[in-house]
């Protein structure tokens, strides 16, 4: 019997008569079979590949068969805009069979929410943070709202798994499903990832159901790719405007600063231009999306905010300034195009220099080889553990320690934190008065309420900082302007520099209590950035593929003459160095230059370990190490050989010293509440990769 024939008769009739469908897509057939069989399921398909229907049709059928009263399914999306975008479509599917859906997020008015709580819809659509709000809110009786819950659907799950928001979501879902009377079935909708089985295990959580990954074969559609290199942003803007004339285009940028500069340069070139990034207000972003949908000669210049599956209408072109840092992002962005019959998915890379050309080629070639990054789950996500302890204390007006441990220890993102470490964290939070032991119940302490209790604990509802303005002042007290907290969160005193009022400034101190940043004029040679010196890390596989591109003689058909010339020049300049046996380290006047092509995390692991072991100064990026000191092959090679063993890294004293010397990056608003060791471990999980470094050095040292 076909999947369609197994759907509830009312749904079958509606699909045929209301939608006019005569058949299902392959992904919908396969997903329907897995979901109707009761399995936790990951559904892989490209943007506009039919994932929404693949999940909702069998779920709606099951809700009809069970005659569910109340909330039967929670659909969770990472963005409010994605919820709003799908509201009408999901509403159609629900209403055509007599069900209801409700969207709950911060922009929905209170009367509508009260009406939902009085008479809940069968389909609830929300974000992870809004689901947290429902759990904490005193007016939402979750024990009465979710007993009929049967399904949780997580859209764009690849964008959540392995992140702070993913850890938060996993914990919140477990807090919700404990109110259900049955084992809640988990469904994740995802773009292609390298390890879907790992994501399935993550989303399964405490569910005892069997699992399935739905990954149907994809027809190889036509792809239109072009890589152009120009020497100035104005020339890139001219290209984007000329090629996008009379069409609808997305122009992706890797930074907010470039987004603003490029958009400004495009506005005078006969095309309507909108800007979309995290510092643009939600209202302005929504207006850009709305205006863009109804235009025919316009472009949105954006960061990754439009990478996920928000429907901005029939899109003609995708432009990418320079290159993203992952194959996944490249494929996701390209997948926004080619949806209409007879059209091809396309991306035009607009590169400022040869380095960007090289990275674009490597991304394209990895994608053509069928490789995409895996998602890594961090089982020691301390910052979200702290957040969830406080949130549970609020939700239940005091939570027993054993209940907190029982719940949190089962969340995959906390699974490697031991009971002894958990107890030590509780003791620290109580000493700092973030939590208080009230007769065996953990409740919010004075420091917790003072730090996170403003505006009825709105600070507790999101894992990430809500926008706040910090005043920028010179050390003499002159007021230079303001910057947002999400910017300040990434600043490191004595390291970070940024532009304000047309001048570069070096951060001297951050006064968190006073919401102020003290600065001094940046010295010559200190390069200001939009953001901070928090390194943007590129993975080892992409870096090594870039090295391979330089060693090959391949002529790539998608390279414009300008990009071909840039790549040809790079090959000429660096090939003699690359053709030497690795590790190819050049020594000159107490400086060792090592082009590792190992990726940012491995290079930063090497940097901090070498500095700690020798006292030398090391500068690292994604591709290269510059080692300054009393360096020689006789000193360096034995050290690298030692670092290529597990024993080198297993010394507790060395490990502690390594963590202690890491930069004091501010990665979470809960960082001030964390024990110092946990905070440093959090920084290390972002910056370092010890197992990857050991594996890399073993290969390198075999060639010495």
β-bridge pairing 441-444 and 101-104: unpaired
Q: What is the distance between the alpha carbons of residues 356 and 549, in angstroms, rounded to a whole number? A: 13
| Cα–Cα dist 597/267, whole Å | 38
Whole-model pTM?
Answer: 0.86
pLDDT at 535 over 50: yes
Q: Which of 214, 240, 259 is the last residue of a domain?
A: 214
Do residue 279 and residue 197 come from a single domain? Answer: no
- Whole-angstrom Cα distance, residue 566 to residue 550? 11
On the question of a cis peptide bond just before residue 583, with omega within 30 degrees of 0, the verdict is: yes
Does residue 468 have a pLDDT over 70?
A: no
CA 45 to chain centre: 19
Same domain, 593 and 691: yes
Q: Calculate mean pLDDT across residues 577-590.
A: 88
What is the 3-state secondary structure of 477-496?
CCEEEEEEHHHHCCCCCCCC
Least confident among 221-235, 256-270, 487-501: 487-501
In a domain, 552, yes or no: no
pLDDT for 306 equals: 73
Residues 227 and 197 in one domain: no
- Shared-domain flag, residues 326 and 352: yes
Asked if residue 668 belongs to a domain, the reply is yes
531 falls in which pLDDT band (50, 70, 90)?
A: very low
> If you average pLDDT over residues 82-108, what whole number do you get?
92
Q: What percent of the chain has pLDDT over 70?
A: 91
Q: Considering just the CA atoms, what is the radius of gyration of the chain in Å?
A: 26
| In-domain check, residue 556 | no
Q: In CATH, what number is assigned to the domain containing residue 397?
A: 1.10.10
**Which sign does the torsion angle of CA 191, 195, 196, 200 carry?**
negative
Are 67 and 146 in the same domain?
Answer: yes
Residues 127 and 165 occupy one common structural domain: yes
Shared domain check, 331 and 277: yes
Alpha helices by DSSP H, 615-651: 633-643, 646-649
The domain boundary, picked from 443, 460, 477, lies at: 460
The answer to whether residue 571 is domain-embedded is no
C-alpha 505/C-alpha 511 separation (Å) is: 16
- What is the C-alpha end-to-end distance of the chain, expressed in Å? 62
Q: Which string of DSSP letters, residue by residue, matches 277-318?
A: STTS-HHHHHHHHHHHHT-SSEEEEESGGGTS----SS--EE
User: What are the b/e assignments for 673-699, b being 16+ CB within 10 Å?
Assistant: bbbebbbbbbbbbbbbbbebbbebbee
Which pLDDT score is estimated for 94? 96
Q: Would you say residue 534 lies in a domain?
A: no
pLDDT reported for residue 272: 85
* Interatomic CA distance for residues 494 and 652, integer angstroms: 29
529 assigned to some structural domain: no
Q: Do you know the residue count of the chain? A: 704
Give a yes or no: residue 374 inside a domain. Answer: no
Do residues 122 and 44 lie in contact, with contact meaning Cβ atoms separated by under 8 Å?
Answer: no
- Do 434 and 481 share a structural domain? no
Tell me if residue 415 falls in helix, strand or coil. Answer: coil
Which pLDDT value is given to residue 502?
43
Instruction: Return the minimum-mean-pLDDT range out of 303-317, 395-409, 442-456.
Output: 303-317
Residue by residue, DSSP assigns 515-540 as TEEEEEEPPTTPPP-SS-S------H
Of residues 494, 511, 505, the one with CA closest to residue 530: 505
pLDDT on residue 284: 65
Same domain flag for 228 and 204: no
Clarify whether residues 355 and 418 are in a common domain: no
Q: In this model, does residue 429 exceed pLDDT 60?
A: yes
How far apart are alpha carbons 703 and 83 in whole angstroms?
53
Pair 633, 592: CB distance under 8 Å = no
pLDDT score of 370: 92
Distance (Å, rounded) from C-alpha 545 to C-alpha 477?
50
pLDDT for residue 467: 44
Q: Does 704 have pLDDT greater than 60?
A: no
Closest among 184, 186, 155 to 90, alpha carbons compared: 155
Contacting residues for 284 by C-beta, under 8 A, at least 6 apart: 275
3-state secondary structure of 413: helix
Confidence of residue 465 (pLDDT cuts 50, 70, 90): very low
401 sits in which H/E element: helix 401-408
Most confident of 187-196, 240-249, 522-531, 561-570: 561-570
SS (H, E, C) 257-269: HHHHHHHHHHCCC
Q: Is the pLDDT of residue 25 over 70?
A: yes
Evaluate whether residue 373 is within a structural domain: no
Q: Beta-strand (E) ranges in 596-670?
A: 617-620, 624-628
Question: How many structural domains is the chain composed of?
Answer: 5
DSSP for 209-253, written as a single string: S-EEEE--------EEEEEEE-SSHHHHHHHHHHHHTTSEEEEE-
Identify the pLDDT of residue 479.
78
* Cβ–Cβ under 8 Å, residues 135 and 128: no
Which residues are CB-contacts of 283 (< 8 A; sequence separation ≥ 6)?
none
User: Which residue among 503, 521, 539 closes a domain?
Assistant: 521
Asked if 631 and 590 touch (Cβ cutoff 8 Å), the reply is yes
Tell me how far apart the alpha carbons of residues 27 and 17 are, in angstroms, rounded to a whole number.
22
**Dihedral class, residue 504 (left if φ above 0, else alpha if ψ from -120 to 50, else beta):** beta
Q: Are residues 498 and 604 in the same domain?
A: no
For residue 532, name the pLDDT band (cuts at 50, 70, 90).
Answer: very low
Q: What percent of the chain has pLDDT over 90?
A: 64
Domain of residue 27, CATH code? 3.40.50.300
- Is the confidence at residue 244, as pLDDT, over 70? yes
* Domain of 585, in residue numbers: 580-702
**Average pLDDT across the chain, whole number:** 89
Please answer whether residues 171 and 409 qualify as being in contact, where contact means their C-beta atoms are separated by less than 8 angstroms: no
Across residues 141-150, what is the average pLDDT? Answer: 95
**pLDDT range class, residue 273, cuts 50, 70, 90:** confident
Looking at the structure, do residues 406 and 507 belong to the same domain, yes or no? no
pLDDT at residue 398 in the model: 93
Q: Is the pLDDT of residue 339 over 80?
A: no
Q: Under a CB-based contact definition with an 8 Å cutoff, are residues 580 and 551 in contact?
A: no
């Amino acid at each position: 019997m076909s999947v369609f024939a197994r759907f509830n008769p009312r749904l079958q009739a509606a699909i045929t008569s209301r939608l006019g469908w005569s058949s299902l897509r392959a992904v919908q057939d396969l997903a329907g079979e897995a979901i109707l069989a009761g399995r936790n399921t990951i559904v892989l398909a490209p943007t506009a590949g039919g994932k929404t229907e693949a999940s909702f049709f069998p779920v709606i059928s099951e809700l009809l068969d069970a005659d569910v009263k109340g909330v039967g399914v929670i659909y969770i999306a990472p963005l409010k805009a994605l919820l709003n975008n799908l509201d009408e479509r999901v509403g159609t599917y629900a209403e055509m069979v007599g069900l209801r859906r409700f969207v709950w997020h911060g922009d929905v008015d209170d009367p509508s929410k009260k009406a939902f709580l009085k008479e809940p819809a069968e389909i609830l659509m929300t974000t992870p943070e809004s689901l947290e709000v429902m759990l904490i809110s005193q007016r939402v009786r979750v024990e009465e709202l979710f007993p009929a819950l049967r399904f949780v659907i997580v859209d764009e799950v690849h964008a959540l798994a392995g992140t702070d928001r993913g850890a938060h979501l996993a914990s919140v879902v477990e807090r919700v499903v404990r109110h259900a009377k049955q084992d809640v079935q988990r469904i994740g909708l995802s773009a292609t990832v390298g390890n879907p089985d790992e994501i399935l295990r993550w989303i399964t959580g405490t569910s005892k159901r069997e699992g399935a990954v739905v990954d149907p074969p994809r027809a190889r559609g036509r792809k239109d790719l072009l890589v152009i290199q120009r020497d100035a942003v104005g020339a890139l803007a001219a290209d984007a405007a000329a090629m996008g004339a009379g069409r609808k285009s997305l122009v992706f940028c890797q930074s907010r600063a470039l987004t603003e500069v490029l958009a400004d340069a495009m506005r005078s070139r006969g095309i309507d231009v909108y800007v979309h990034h995290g510092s643009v207000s939600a209202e302005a972003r929504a207006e850009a999306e709305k205006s863009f949908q109804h235009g025919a000669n316009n472009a949105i210049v954006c960061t990754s905010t439009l990478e996920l599956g928000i429907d901005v209408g029939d899109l003609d072109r995708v432009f990418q300034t320079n290159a993203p840092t992952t194959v996944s992002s490249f494929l996701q962005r390209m997948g926004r195009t080619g949806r209409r019959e007879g059209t091809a998915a396309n991306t035009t890379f607009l590169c400022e220099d040869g380095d960007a050309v090289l990275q674009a080629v490597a991304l394209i070639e990895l994608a053509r080889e069928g490789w995409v990054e895996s998602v890594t789950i961090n089982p020691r996500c301390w910052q979200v553990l702290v957040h969830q302890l406080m949130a549970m204390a609020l939700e239940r007006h005091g939570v027993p320690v054993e209940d907190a441990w029982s719940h949190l220890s089962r969340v995959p993102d906390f699974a490697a934190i031991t009971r002894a470490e958990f107890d030590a964290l509780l003791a620290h939070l109580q000493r700092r008065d973030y939590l208080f032991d009230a007769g065996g119940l953990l409740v919010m302490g004075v420091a917790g309420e003072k730090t996170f209790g403003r505006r009825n604990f709105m600070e507790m509802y999101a894992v990430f900082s809500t926008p706040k303005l910090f005043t920028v002042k010179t050390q003499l007290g002159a007021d230079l302007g303001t910057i947002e907290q999400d910017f300040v969160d990434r600043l490191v005193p004595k390291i970070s520099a940024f532009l304000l009022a047309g001048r570069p400034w070096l951060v001297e101190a951050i006064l968190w209590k006073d919401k102020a940043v003290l600065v001094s004029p940046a010295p010559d040679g200190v390069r200001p950035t939009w953001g901070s010196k928090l390194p943007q890390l590129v993975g080892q596989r992409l870096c090594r593929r870039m090295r391979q591109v330089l060693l090959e003689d391949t002529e790539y058909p998608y390279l414009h003459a300008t990009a071909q010339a840039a790549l040809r020049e790079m090959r000429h300049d660096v090939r003699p160095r690359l053709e030497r046996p690795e590790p190819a380290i050049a020594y000159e006047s107490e400086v060792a230059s090592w082009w590792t092509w190992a990726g940012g995390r491995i290079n930063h692991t090497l940097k901090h370990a070498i500095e700690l072991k020798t006292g030398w100064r090391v500068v690292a990026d994604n591709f290269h190490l510059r080692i300054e000191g009393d360096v020689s092959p006789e000193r360096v090679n034995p050290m690298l050989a030692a670092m290529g063993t597990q024993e080198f890294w297993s010394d507790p004293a060395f490990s502690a010293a390594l963590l202690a010397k890491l930069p004091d990056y501010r990665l979470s608003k809960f960082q001030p509440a964390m024990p110092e060791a946990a905070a440093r471990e959090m920084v290390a999980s972002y910056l370092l990769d010890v197992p990857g470094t050991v594996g890399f050095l073993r290969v390198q040292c075999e060639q010495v």
